[in-house]
Structure 1
Amino acid sequence: MEFDVVIVGAGPAGLSAAIKLMQQAKAADKELMVCVVEKGSEVGAHILSGAVFEPRALQELFPDWKSMGAPLNTPVVHDDIYLFQSEQNAKKLPAMAVPKTMHNSGNYIVSMGNVCRWLAEQAEQLGVEIFPGFPAAGLIVEDNVVKGVITGDMGLDVDGSPKSSFEPGMELRAKYTIFAEGCRGHLGKQLLQQYQLDKACSPQHYAIGFKEIWDVDASHHHPGLVVHSAGWPLAKDTSGGGYLYHAENQQILVGLIIDLNYSNPHLSPFEEFQRYKQHPVIKQYLAGGKRVSYGARAITKGGLNSLPKMSFPGGLLAGCEAGTLNFAKIKGNHTAMKSGMLAAETIFAALSAEDAGGKDLTDHQQRFEQSWLYNELYCSRNFGPAMHKFGTFWGGAYNTIEQNWFGGKLPWTLKDNSLDHAQLQSASAAPAIHYPKPDNQLSFDRLSSVYLSNTNHEEKQPCHLKLKDASIPIRDNLPQFAEPAQRYCPAGVYEIIENDAGEAQFQINAQNCIHCKTCDIKDPAQNITWVTPEGPGGPNYPNM
């Protein structure tokens, strides 16, 4: 199938790009064929975000979004910011001690899954073709030019041989392709390497973000209340923070974000999240409630310093695929939308000039640098490096001064050129961490959590978690790092088991995978590569 533009990923960046393309085409009375492919079973099925949403980009895309029924129903009414000093103590910070980027007046507590479903409806009304359940599995590259993507084969057995239900993938060809796969997209990863897009920037940095949705009693629910925290349960050398948002329908959204440059291989991000919910500040809202959904996702958080070149022959990177999240705000949805809209403007300008496609649209960088998106990322460029360099307390103090007194425009740039996966200490040198057993009221185990993510994969299919060298987990990672995949995976995918001879074996439970990409990022040997599984496999988040 041939299109003018193929977009990979029906998240906020991809859908905004599709909508902006069709809006421009309609205004110019020009016919345009745009296709969006999405690996989730439906639009929104793989979307996971906090989320406090800043409507700036949406306002540009649809000035009348309120009358159109966009699902932004809970305005933020109050911010509470805490420093958790211990498992029992916390200090609420005054507004003057909080970076202004953390204030949320004018923003909304939303389900980004539902926002994306709404955006998809608007895109389809404009003539965009959206294909959910069809993961883009491979690139079409001819004469060093990206010509589109190939969707994954379906109906393969575990050894890759065709079953009776076999259906080959389809070539989706385009003049230009926009890659908006989200954090650590597997095709984007190939593009970075093939076209050396990241050779002039700092290494990308990542975090893992957890989220649960809770139904709570009305007496515990305060619609529009936003709670953020730093400190406990994370150790001093582990940066990150927690959040708790009071959404609509007596629901609370709670989560913990942990930077993936942590050094202790005994650390389990999942268990840290379970501990977080036991703090009195969090417990007071969740006690007696019912957990109804769970998920986790890696976050691209390097910011401006880690942005790669976004153009290459035949296409563009957009949104979290490129790394446009503003971590100073803990927000990436409005920036992803704007990134997609800028990509659409660049490509439409090229197509309007009777461009046959395939060019390296290097003018996209200038369009980006002239936008409010660039200015926002520039002003927050030091936020992450300061936290990594000075720690949570002093890094937070630096960021408060820079943001509140200087508007993010101090005349220097801090950089963090370390690699997240290279920061682990040896297991013998790091302090052991003993996590309490779940109480099944506030804290839970992995498997019951994965159950709430509605994750499903066809079991008889090739494993989508590829090992470059199958011997590394037992030979290298186990003795040196106590094989951290057992702990950094939030879904129990990786286990060390014993065979009949009592020998350690590395087991991959791929059917549990919730597509967070943490293994692809944090494995110290960079031995694990995440690729798309068959068809619509993975989580099915209802309203994350």
Structure 2
Amino acid sequence: MERESMEFDVVVVGAGVTGLAAACRLMQKAQEQEQELTVCVVEKGSEVGAHILSGAVMETRALDELFPDWKERDAPITCEVTAEDTLLLLNDSKGVKLPGFAVPKPMHNKGNYIVSLANVTRWLAEQAEALGVEVFPGFPASEILYHEDGSVKGVATGDMGIGADGEPKDSYTPGMELHAKYTLFTEGVRGHLGKQLLNAFALDQGKDPQHYAIGIKELWDIDPAKSKPGLVVHGSGWPLSDGASGGFFLYHDENNQVEVGLIVDLNYSNPWLSPFDEFQRFKHHPEIRQYLEGGTRVSYGARAITKGGLNCLPKMTLPGAFVLGCNAGTLNFAKIKGIHTGMKSGMLAAEVIADALKAGDEGGKDLTQYDDAFKASWLYDELYRGRNFGPAMHKFGTFLGGTFNFVDQNIFGGKIPLTLHDTHKDHEMLKPAAEARKIEYPKPDGKLSFDKLSSVYLSNATHEEDQPCHLRLTDPELPIRENLPKYAEPAQRYCPAGVYEVVEDANGPRFQINFSNCVHCKTCDIKDPAQNITWVTPEGGGGPVYPNM
């Protein structure tokens, strides 16, 4: 069966805040310039917001520009930050609270809001549709289409009804080709199409290698007597050790809920480290337990974070397309925020495209005028001021790195006259297991800490079982042949969903992939030391379904 095709002016891949902000701004510009534009957004989740997970504390700067009347439009952004604690956990029972003046200025959250990013994206999709954007959830873009001259022509959505053996089933339906003058790749962190474009067009040439973290989050209903709506708690230190870095958050939302999470930088060196288990024991610390004890865990999820910042930011334009938001790495790590920066990157692209099309552009060009718009924007200024934050933490550690960042941010305003670089690749940082301290994690108590499978259950992750595995091994024998003897096969531990197992049977150890557990965090694609795992889109609608994460 041949694929049918549809023509649009702009196709947006991914219904996150970046893509939806871009779509909305495109239609606004079309109205302002009295032009007609056709814009389509495709989303791999079963519904808009199903795959969206973030802390999240939101700065509304970009939203204020996009919809100045967002409050009147009943945006789900109502819990303003009222108080902040920044903690340094010294061990499993002690912690110190840092005074406000000792915290780098970008980490202060006055005027920001605690939100469910999944709900914010659902609201943005409603605004986009009201402006005339077509939004199609459950249709993952699985292939990039090219013109004969090599420029991007659009994307094709994935075929439906392919069996695990690779053969069409009775329910087979071919994907749809979506052709566009310009295609925006806003897939989020480590988008599999964005990854292909970075390589094919050498977009990151001359840049520091990109850096990532994994963020693991739970939503809890807590005792109303312990609820402090608007309280933001950030911190670092215990339980991470052996040079592993990262931090934690606990946000008091409305309706007696808290959002708690641990972020682990994926440049860690100990292959025995399990981010999931570090998170579970972290919740037992008295500073965190005081809020969670007696509460009920409601939801669970995990997501990689692109955190390299300006030094790692690739060229975001290419012939016929843009790579934007977290797919490129626009998160401001100094603020630990990427919502407003991702939105702004999409809005800038929308304005450049709308102006080009108004001037008679037929598409397929490399709209490098975006670079000028980007460098003239507050987005560039923010990322420039935060360029040293991550490299300082990686080079100098929590204490010295924190001191450097205090001086850089609070005294020099992010414009200290030097730029630090981190040229190590995250996947190359693991030590051999024999040279690392083996970590014994406590068993979960079922009250504050839990196992992976019960956690995955709360993510609502489901996949059609009879389909090809979407976690592709370049060399199927490598995990047992090389990763197991050298690194004790770390996929068993860095995956937060129990996807990867080493199973012993009569023929010896066997590498097993339980792809139906996958929560689409992309950590395996990033951290595998041999870069042997490639994450691709599964059949449409598969993956987690986050209600309000």
Q: TM-score range by the shorter chain?
A: over 0.9
Aligned residue among 301, 305, 312 for 2:307: 301
In the other structure, the counterpart of 1:350 is 356
Aligned residue among 143, 165, 168 for 1:162: 168
Aligned alpha-carbon RMSD (Å): 0.6
AA aligned to 1:82 is L
AA aligned to 1:376 is E
In the other structure, the counterpart of 1:46 is 51
The DSSP-based 3-state class of the residue aligned with 1:255 is strand
Aligned residue among 258, 277, 285 for 1:279: 285
In the other structure, the counterpart of 1:477 is 483
Query: 1:37 and 2:42 equivalent?
Result: yes
Q: 1:500 & 1:418 partners in 2: Cα distance?
A: 40
* Residue pairs, 1:369-380, within 5 angstroms: 369-380=375-386
**Post-superposition shift, 1:315?**
0.7
* Residue pairs, 1:195-274, within 5 angstroms: 195-274=201-280
Q: 1:131 & 1:230 partners in 2: Cα distance?
A: 40
In the other structure, the counterpart of 2:74 is 69
In the other structure, the counterpart of 1:321 is 327
In the other structure, the counterpart of 1:137 is 142
Q: 2:250 & 2:515 partners in 1: Cα distance?
A: 30
**Post-superposition shift, 1:34?**
0.1
Aligned residue among 50, 58, 61 for 1:56: 61
Q: 1:494 & 1:192 partners in 2: Cα distance?
A: 27
Cα deviation per residue 1:343-383 (whole Å; 9 max; x = unaligned)? Answer: 10111111111000000111111110000000000000000
Q: 1:79 & 1:393 partners in 2: Cα distance?
A: 20
**Cα pair 1:21 1:345 within 8 Å, conserved:** yes
Q: 1:67 & 1:157 partners in 2: Cα distance?
A: 48
AA aligned to 1:18 is A
In the other structure, the counterpart of 1:396 is 402
TM-score by length of 2: 0.98
Q: 1:209 & 1:26 partners in 2: Cα distance?
A: 39
Q: Quick check: 175-184 or 229-238, which moved more? A: 229-238
Query: 1:91 and 2:96 equivalent?
Result: yes
Q: 1:28 & 1:339 partners in 2: Cα distance?
A: 21
AA aligned to 1:398 is F
* Residue pairs, 1:387-426, within 5 angstroms: 387-426=393-432
AA aligned to 2:274 is S
AA aligned to 2:240 is L
**Cα pair 1:236 1:391 within 8 Å, conserved:** no
The DSSP-based 3-state class of the residue aligned with 1:16 is helix
**Post-superposition shift, 1:401?**
1.2
Q: 2:367 & 2:385 partners in 1: Cα distance?
A: 26
May I ask how many residue pairs the two structures share in their alignment?
A: 543
Q: 1:340 & 1:134 partners in 2: Cα distance?
A: 21
Query: 1:523 and 2:528 equivalent?
Result: yes
In the other structure, the counterpart of 1:536 is 541
Aligned residue among 110, 117, 120 for 2:115: 110
Q: 1:222 & 1:236 partners in 2: Cα distance?
A: 34
AA aligned to 2:275 is P
In the other structure, the counterpart of 1:6 is 11
**Post-superposition shift, 1:236?**
5.0
**Cα pair 1:37 1:131 within 8 Å, conserved:** yes
**Cα pair 2:242 2:270 within 8 Å, conserved:** no
Q: 2:532 & 2:182 partners in 1: Cα distance?
A: 32
**Post-superposition shift, 1:248?**
0.9
**Post-superposition shift, 1:390?**
0.2
Gap runs ≥5 in structure 1:
none
**Post-superposition shift, 1:500?**
2.4
Q: 2:285 & 2:274 partners in 1: Cα distance?
A: 18
Gap runs ≥5 in structure 2:
1-5
TM-score by length of 1: 0.99
Q: 1:91 & 1:216 partners in 2: Cα distance?
A: 24
AA aligned to 2:205 is K
Query: 1:489 and 2:495 equivalent?
Result: yes
AA aligned to 1:172 is L
AA aligned to 1:200 is G
**Post-superposition shift, 1:271?**
0.2
Q: 1:348 & 1:451 partners in 2: Cα distance?
A: 43
Aligned residue among 167, 192, 195 for 1:189: 195
Cα deviation per residue 1:399-424 (whole Å; 9 max; x = unaligned)? Answer: 01111111000111000010000000
In the other structure, the counterpart of 2:467 is 461
Query: 1:359 and 2:365 equivalent?
Result: yes
